[in-house]
Chain A
């Protein structure tokens, strides 16, 4: 849907038709129109592009950073482990929203910034998971065996331990995407996300705030999309977890 957005929509998501503001859902505007007469269906479809790409890219950042730091901490232990884990502790104990709000007020709330900030606050969970996995794999016999045959640390980490730790990482990746989508929606709802008029699911919700009584469709449709998407990724993650555990 996000890929074929231009083909799927019937209206320009940014075009305002003020005379048609807050029309209920009908044959012309499937999800109704918003306070400026923009087609909500078109906005939700185009919003999916932004929301999903923020979700995927920041999840990718979380996984990459988390795996890298978790692997280093778990494999080397000692001081490296201590430093990295204290850093993750610091980020984890910070109230995430507070941290994000602070960061966003320091920088701008552009697309890239949002992605970086969500990714930056999300990696510690992944790092802990990967660290635990590496710590147990590090002590496994086959790691000792290849070390005895002179393999370098880099080779041991990338070729021998990482493939064995892949299952939990894949699950974590699937579960990070909805977390990132929710984070973006939450930020946008608070007005800290991508600035208007660019449609994101959170942005539409924010605009709908205050119109719940007159126009239920204004908030219901983007809300439902967030709900369904997050739900779908969570279910996918859970079933992957069950599948890989068995």
Chain B
């Protein structure tokens, strides 16, 4: 059996605030296998972006990352910055949300696509140019020769996002982290980009971690999904199971209102962002204030992430467990309640 490409153990991200540390991500563990596409879903403030960027220790200087991240067996969080750079871009590519602000306004897009290749592969600019042209045409950009000489402000949003993707793919990474790759785009473009990502995924052995608040985008692309709430993973499972039979009350509310996922915050009582201060995090289950099925034990202690049912399979080589963090599914809880949700 193959080894996991990425194995995250007990990942934690703390942001330094004036009043102490704020735990944006707490105790997250997961694995990503080669060729797998995994969704990481949650609302704003759930810690999903912090979690994905911390895999490469890219959180801003105020963010402290704890836990272990094994990429191909190497714990990359303990590597010195100099060695970590060799992973960024080369082994793990990143696509960001807003292509305008994530491209350098004073350099042509050609230079920006070629740069990672020159840096990592130590090839000449001429060779890098060949590949950049190839990448751009793969992205469905016509006239790539001319586009290479243009600056970000001269391009439309869709093209910019394609350029971002080309940059991330330039060195053929083995894992692609896509942080809300479609959020800043309008709906028609969203689907073009989703199609593009799907084509890339079929063509290359690359694994993708898709971070999104949009369950529909995740459903289009992913094999497996992890739902985050308040810095914790609350449910994981295969994409079909999650949609057919959501277990956690939060997931359930997400699936019910999908595709207009953004309205969840309206439908759920309580604040928009779960917890902006450490003192707001309640004892017990983090979802209790917005949960319609809240009971006594939810306020006592926090439930653990519990494996439910048998193994699920991706293709026929990777197995995974359905997991949920809710008192309704803990040992013994089922008997007390008349039925599970």
Bound-state CA distance A145–B96 (Å) is: 7
CB-based contact A159/B88 at 8 Å: no
Q: Which residue of B lies closest to A141 (CB)?
A: B101
Measured CB to CB, the closest approach of chain A to B60, in angstroms, equals 7
What is the CA–CA distance of A42 and B290 in the complex, to the nearest angstrom?
Answer: 87
Q: Which chain A residues border B60 with CB–CB below 8 Å?
A: 139
- Contact status B119-A163, CB under 8 Å: no
Q: Are B119 and A151 in contact (CB under 8 A)?
A: yes
- B58–A149 contact, CB under 8 A? no
Q: Are B106 and A163 in contact (CB under 8 A)?
A: yes
A134-156 CB mask vs B (1 if < 8 Å, else 0) is 00000111101111111110010
Question: Are A160 and B104 in touch, CB under 8 angstroms?
Answer: yes
Interface residues of B in 94-147 (CB under 8 A from A): 94, 96, 98, 101-107, 112, 115-116, 119-120
Mind listing 18 A-B residue pairs with CB under 8 Å?
A77-B61, A141-B98, A142-B101, A142-B105, A144-B58, A144-B96, A145-B102, A145-B103, A146-B104, A148-B88, A148-B96, A149-B115, A149-B116, A150-B85, A150-B86, A150-B88, A150-B119, A152-B119
Q: Measured between alpha carbons, how far is A145 from B53 in the docked complex, in Å?
A: 11
Chain A residues packing against B (C-beta within 8 Å): 77, 139-142, 144-152, 155, 159-160, 163-164
By beta carbon, the residue of chain B nearest A145 is: B102
| Contact in complex: A149, B105 (CB < 8 Å) | no
Q: Which of A146, A148, A155, A164 has the most CB of B within 10 A?
A: A148
Complex Cα gap A36–B86 (Å): 71
Q: Are B116 and A142 in contact (CB under 8 A)?
A: no
Q: How far is the CA of A152 from the CA of B85 in the complex (A)?
A: 7
Residue interface bits B64-107, CB-to-A below 8 A is 1, else 0: 00000000000000000000011111100110101001111111
Chain B residues closer than 8 Å to A145, beta-carbon distance: 94, 96, 102-103, 164, 167
B163 CB to nearest A CB, Å: 11
B227 within 8 A of A: no
- Tell me if A142 and B104 are in contact (CB < 8 A): yes
User: What's the A-B contact tally at a CB cutoff of 8 Å?
Assistant: 71
Q: 8 tightest A-B contacts by CB?
A: A149-B89, A150-B89, A150-B88, A141-B101, A148-B94, A145-B102, A163-B106, A142-B104
Contacts of A77 in B (CB 8 A): 61
Residues of B within 8 A of A150 (CB): 85-90, 116, 119-120
Which residue of chain B lies nearest to A155 when distances are taken between CB atoms in the complex? B119
**Known: A142-B103, A163-B107. Contact between A148 and B119, CB under 8 A?**
no
| A152 neighbours in B (Cβ, 8 Å) | 85, 119
CB distance from B101 to the nearest CB of A (A): 4
- The number of chain B residues with a CB under 8 A from chain A is 31
Instruction: Give min CB distance, A183 to chain B, whole Å.
Output: 33
In the assembled complex, which residues on chain B have CB atoms less than 8 Å from the CB atom of A146?
104, 112, 115-116
Closest to B94 in A: A148
CB atoms of A164 and B106 under 8 A apart: yes
Residues of chain A within 8 A (CB-CB) of B164 are 145
CA gap between A151 and B87 in the complex, in Å: 11
Set of chain B residues within 8 Å of A164, measured between Cβ atoms: 104-106
> A160 to B94, alpha carbons, bound, how many Å?
18
Q: Mark B45-67, 1 if CB is under 8 A from A, else 0.
A: 00000000100101011000000
Complex CA–CA separation, A151 to B58 (angstroms):
12
Q: A159-B107, A160-B107 are in contact. Are A149 and B102 (CB under 8 A)?
A: no
Contacts of A151 in B (CB 8 A): 85, 89, 115-116, 119
Q: Which residues of A contact B101 (CB under 8 A)?
A: 140-142
- In whole angstroms, how far apart are the Cα atoms of A144 and B212 in the complex? 19
Residues of chain B within 8 A (CB-CB) of A142 are: 101-105
Q: Indicate if the CB atoms of A148 and B115 lie closer than 8 Å.
A: no
The answer to whether A149 and B168 touch (CB under 8 A), given A139-B60, A155-B115, A155-B119, is: yes
A149→B107 contact, CB < 8 A: no
Note all chain B residues with C-beta closer than 8 A to A159. 107, 115
Given the contacts A139-B60, A144-B58, A149 and B104 also touching, CB distance less than 8 Å: no
Among B89, B104, B107, find the residue whose CB has the most chain A CB atoms closer than 10 A.
B104
The residue in chain B whose Cβ has the minimal distance to the Cβ of A148 is B94
CB-contact partner of B56 in A140, A141, A148, under 8 A? A148
Given A141-B102, A152-B85, A159-B107; A147-B58 close (CB under 8 Å):
yes
Q: Which residues of A contact B119 (CB under 8 A)?
A: 149-152, 155
Chain A residues near B104 (CB, 8 Å)? 142, 146, 160, 164
What is the distance, in angstroms, from B180's C-beta to the closest C-beta of chain A?
A: 13
**Closest-CB distance, B85 to chain A (whole angstroms):** 5
Closest chain B residue to A137 by CB distance? B104
Closest chain-A Cβ to B120's Cβ sits at a distance in Å of 6
5 A-B pairs besides A77-B61, A152-B119 with CB distance below 8 A are A144-B102, A145-B103, A147-B88, A150-B90, A150-B116
Chain A residues, Cβ within 8 Å of B53: 148
Contact call A149/B103, Cβ cutoff below 8 A: no
CB nearest neighbor in A for B177: A148
